[in-house]
Amino acid sequence: MTKAIDEVQVKETVLSIDQLTLEFPGQAPLATISWTVHLGQQVALLGKSGSGKSTLLTRIIRGSSSIQCQTQRIAYLSQQPALLPWVSVLDNILLGFTLRGETIVSKHLERAHQLLIDVDLCGFQDQKTKYLSGGEKSRVALARALIEDADLLLLDEPFAALDRSTKIHMTQLCNTLFANKTVILVTHDPRDALSWLDTAMVLTSHGLRGPFDLADFQDDHALIQALDGDL
Amino acid sequence: MKRVLAYLLPVMLLIAIWWSTVILFEIPHFILPAPDRVAAVLFDRFILISAHATTTALEIVCGLFLGSILGFTVACLIGDSKRLQSITIPALVISQALPVFAIAPILMLWLGYGFASKLAMTSLIVFFPVTASTLAGFRALPESWDTTFQTLRPRRVKLFFYVRLPLAVPYTLSGVRVAASVAPIGAIVGEWVGSSSGLGYLMLQANARGQTDLMFAALVVLCAEALMIWSVSNRISLRFDQKYSANV
């Protein structure tokens, strides 16, 4: 156990948050948190609705004096896949290159086609995304996040709107495709993360608690206690 | 067939009420002419009415086009800057708060009694709904979308033209639909204040000569024009709505 902790401590820090106050505009502060995330760490961020989980991810992306992020290469996936309905699946995956004004070369196209295979969307490249199902759209968004080769993946309940079987499929994909990546997954339901994440942090009004063993939260009582800040 | 009936039924109902009111209350034709008298005038004076109708239609269509282009352009110029919006929007609101009738004589003085002053009046009426709707479109980008695009480290100009502008298009077109229904007001008011042709001018002349049936004929043609212009803009906007709507 001590050895495992030492291994984590020598790893490079990707994200360092020091006394960040989470608040909605015009409302009382939700919590003040400090947190260090290391390279390769994969963690589920649990919390009640309105506890500030999504706000935390947004603050990480938009930046703050209390947040030191060692990378600009951040990928973000939310419940809404944010796909442009008037362009094709392939163009949506390559959107980052287009928006940065970078020339799309053959290696980008090869990578995009490989990702389409990885997310089981082979043959969909020319389809407009408005004709895709919810699960297919989520997979396109996943491919778009992966092509950016980000150092830090922030996932804000990306599969919450999907049915159970599609959700299981998506978590299996994440388990394979996010190996060795640094991941923070915001979720209400620990079951969404159990198959691919081990640790959890819990955001309460008292601050950020953890790390906990995610498997402990299979028991509803333990989960409720943790969310209330009593663990 | 059903769609044609849906359009025709309310018109037929309106004509029936109109006609029965004239017959039941024995209203003299110089107060309210019966639909058959109006139809007869439409037929007899077709060339005169259609010449004036063409002028008004041109004023409405050109004003709608110019006002929409100006409204869209202004919204694009200020859409990305909250500071510019806070400076510009009060001026836009003031331009709408002033009654069209109050501005019309000034525009006549500046632009003359010809086509230009009517074009300006119509454009002025059209301008605000298009600007306001387009700005609403820029603000309607869901926060999660905005956050997602920020992580792609976009160039501001690319993000604007590739994402924000197309997503605002359905809102712009919704503004154009509203504008199309009020555009005839600009043209007609302009013609009333000073002109030598157009349906507004024809109505004024007919009123002065006690030709109520001609006045009503001009009004019927104006209604038909307004409906046609609105339905064309509605059709165009619905096509783009489906293409660019983010809610798909």
Q: What is the ipTM of this complex?
A: 0.83
B158/A100 touch (CB, cutoff 8 Å), yes or no? yes
* Low pLDDT (below 70) residues in chain B: 246-248
Distance (Å) from the alpha carbon of B89 to chain A's nearest alpha carbon: 24
Element (H, E) at A226: helix A220-227
Q: Tell me, what's the pLDDT at A231?
A: 58
Nearest-angstrom CA–CA distance, A79 and B88: 36
For residue B100, is it within any domain? yes
For residue B207, is it within any domain? no
Contact residues, chain B, for A141 at CB < 8 Å: 148
Q: Tell me, what's the pLDDT at B246?
A: 66
The answer to whether the peptide bond before residue A211 is cis (omega within 30 degrees of 0) is yes
Of the residues B146, B151, B157, the best mutation for testing chain A's interface (the one with the most A CB atoms within 10 Å of its CB) is B151
Cβ–Cβ pairs < 8 A, chains A and B: 68
Q: Tell me, what's the pLDDT at B95?
A: 79
Domain count, chain B: 1
Give backbone dihedrals phi and psi of A20, rounded to 5 degrees, phi first: -85, 125
Q: What is the pLDDT of residues A205-216, one digit of tens each?
A: 778 887 888 777
Cite the beta strand spans of chain A per DSSP E: 13-22, 31-38, 42-47, 67-69, 74-77, 152-156, 182-187, 199-204, 207-213
For residue B79, is it within any domain? yes
Arithmetic mean of pLDDT, A148-161: 87
Which 3-state string (H, E, C) describes chain B? CHHHHHHHHHHHHHHHHHHHHHHHCCCCCCCCCCHHHHHHHHHHCHHHHHHHHHHHHHHHHHHHHHHHHHHHHHHHHHCCCHHHHHHHHHHHHHHHHCCHHHHHHHHHHHHCCCHHHHHHHHHHHHHHHHHHHHHHHHHCCCHHHHHHHHHCCCCHHHHHHHHHHHHHHHHHHHHHHHHHHHHHHHHHHHHHHCCCCCHHHHHHHHHHCCCHHHHHHHHHHHHHHHHHHHHHHHHHHHHHHHHHCCCC
Q: Residue B38 corresponds to which tokens in the numbers above?
A: 């109006």
Give backbone dihedrals phi and psi of A195, rounded to 5 degrees, phi first: -75, -15
User: What is the fold of A10-73+150-231?
Assistant: Rossmann fold (3.40.50)
Spatial CA neighbour of A31 closest among A204, A161, A214: A204
Give the β-pairing of A199-204 and A42-47.
Answer: parallel
Q: Tell me, what's the pLDDT at A69?
A: 85
Q: What is the pLDDT of residues B31-49, one digit of tens each?
A: 999 999 999 999 999 999 9
Q: Are A150 and A73 in contact (CB under 8 A)?
A: yes
Q: What is the pLDDT of residues A110-148, one digit of tens each?
A: 999 999 998 888 889 999 988 888 888 988 998 999 899
Q: Tell me, what's the pLDDT at A5?
A: 44
Nearest-angstrom CA–CA distance, B49 and B235: 27
Nearest-angstrom CA–CA distance, A57 and A64: 12
C-alpha neighbours within 13 Å on the C-beta side of residue A228 = 8
For residue B15, is it within any domain? no
- State the pLDDT confidence band at A97, using cuts at 50, 70 and 90: very high
B144/A96 touch (CB, cutoff 8 Å), yes or no? no
Q: Are B122 and B63 in contact (CB under 8 A)?
A: yes
Contact residues, chain A, for B143 at CB < 8 Å: 58
B61's CB contacts (< 8 A; 6+ apart) are B229
A27's CB contacts (< 8 A; 6+ apart) are none
A87's CB contacts (< 8 A; 6+ apart) are A95, A128, A129
Spatial CA neighbour of B111 closest among B24, B194, B47: B194
Q: Tell me, what's the pLDDT at B101?
A: 84
For residue B16, is it within any domain? no
Mean residue pLDDT across chain A: 83
Contact residues, chain A, for B246 at CB < 8 Å: 85
Q: Which of A74, A80, A101 sits opposite B151 (nearest CB)?
A: A74
Nearest-angstrom CA–CA distance, A58 and A56: 5
In chain A, where does the domain assigned CATH 3.40.50.300 lie?
Answer: 10-73+150-231
Distance (Å) from the alpha carbon of A222 to chain B's nearest alpha carbon: 31
- The enclosing domain of B134 has a CATH number of 1.10.3720.10
B158/A101 touch (CB, cutoff 8 Å), yes or no? yes
Distance (Å) from the alpha carbon of A132 to chain B's nearest alpha carbon: 9
Q: Tell me, what's the pLDDT at A10?
A: 56
> What is the domain range of residue B152?
58-187+221-247
Q: What is the pLDDT of residues B166-200, one digit of tens each?
A: 999 989 999 999 999 999 999 999 999 888 899 99
Q: Tell me, what's the pLDDT at A2?
A: 42
Q: Which of A76, A86, A98 sits opposite B244 (nearest CB)?
A: A86
Arithmetic mean of pLDDT, A42-65: 87
Q: Tell me, what's the pLDDT at A230?
A: 59
